[in-house]
Amino acid sequence: EQLILCQEDRMNLRCRLSKQNFLPAPLFSTMKLPFFLIAAILTFQNESALAFTHTFGASRRASYLKMNIEKNENAKEIKVGVIGAGRIGLVHLEAITKAPGVTPVIISNPTVSKAEKAAKQFNLPRFTADAMDVIKDPEVDAVWICSPSQYHAEQIKAAAAEGKDIFCEKPIATCLPETVEAINACNEAGVKLMIGLQRRFDENFRRVKGAVERREVGKPIMIKLCSRDPAPPPFQYVKGGGGIFTDMAVHDLDMTRFLAGTDPIEILAIGSCHIDKSILELEGSERFDT
C-alpha cells in the first residue's frame, strides 16, 4: 500500500496506487489550523492531467473528483448521529438542526459532559462517550464524523460496515493508505461518503469556477491560493493530526482540482516552521506551520 511515482514522457508524473479499487468518493473538507501562510500553485494542461489509478498503463483521464447533486422528491427524514462535541462538532450540529428533513438523535464525545451539554442545547434524546454507540445506533441513518483527524479513517470504515452514510470533516485520514482503505470501504459497502470541502459551495469560488469555464479570464496557466489563520494551534492538536498540509492545505489542494477540473501532473511541496518551534520534534508534515 504505497504511492508509486513513475516518470513518463517529459515532466509528467503518473500517480498510481498498488492498493486495489481506489476510486475517490463522489464529493470530497472545517476545522482551521490557526496562523499559517500557504501558497498552492498549479499549472495545468487541458486533457493531459493524470488521475490516481490502481492499474499500471491506464489511460489519462480528468479528475474523478466532482460534485454529484441529486434531487429526491420522495426523500425520507434522515436521522443523524454526530461524533465529536468540540467546536466543529457543534457547528455542524447547529446546522443539522436547521436543515429540512434531517434530525439529530445522538451525539458522542470522550469527555461525556460535553456530549451531554450539546444534547441538552440542541434537544437530542441521547448522548454517549463512545463513538461506536453512534455508529451502531439502529435509528441512525447517517453519521457525522467531527472527531480529531487521526480517528477519521477507522470511524469511516466502522460506519460503512454498519451501512450508514457518512459526512466526515476533512481530512479522510492522516496518511494515504488509510485514505484509500476508507474510500474502498465505502465503495464496497455501497454507502455515500462526503468530506467537508465546503469551498466548492462558496459563491465566490463558484463564480471563479464559472469564469474559468466560460474563458472570461482567458486560458488559465496558473492557480495560486493563499490561506492564513491568526494564531497557531495547540501542540496536542497538531500531534497526530497530520499537520498543516493534511489539516489546512487540503482546502487549497481541493480548490486547485475544482478550478482546473483536472489532476496535477507534477507536485512540489515545501514547508517551514516559523511560529511554534515546539512542533519541530514531531514527524513528517506535522513539523511545519508555514
The pLDDT of residue 284: 87
Contact 196, 232 (CB under 8 A): no
Half-sphere exposure of 63 (CA within 13 A, CB side): 23
Half-sphere exposure of 249 (CA within 13 A, CB side): 22
DSSP 166-186: EEEPSPS-SSHHHHHHHHHHH
Contact 124, 131 (CB under 8 A): no
| 3-state secondary structure at position 38 | strand
Name the burial class of residue 204, with classes exposed (0-12), middle (13-18) and buried (19+) by CB atoms within 10 angstroms of its CB: exposed
Cell of 10: 517529459
| Cα–Cα distance measured from residue 22 to residue 192, given in angstroms and rounded to the nearest whole number | 15
Contact 262, 44 (CB under 8 A): yes
The pLDDT of residue 58: 39
The pLDDT of residue 90: 97
The pLDDT of residue 226: 87
Bridge partners of residue 194, in order along the sequence = 27, 167
The pLDDT of residue 244: 87
The pLDDT of residue 266: 86
The pLDDT of residue 188: 97
Confirm whether pTM is higher than 0.75. no
Q: How does pLDDT run along the chain (290 residues), one tens digit per residue?
A: 233 333 333 233 233 333 333 333 333 333 333 333 333 333 333 333 333 333 333 344 454 545 555 666 677 899 999 999 999 999 999 999 999 999 999 999 999 999 999 999 999 999 999 999 999 999 999 999 999 999 999 999 999 999 999 999 999 999 999 999 999 999 999 999 999 999 999 999 999 999 999 989 888 888 888 888 888 888 988 998 888 888 888 999 999 999 988 888 888 888 999 999 999 999 888 999 88
The pLDDT of residue 70: 63
The pLDDT of residue 41: 38
The pLDDT of residue 71: 66
Contact 110, 148 (CB under 8 A): no
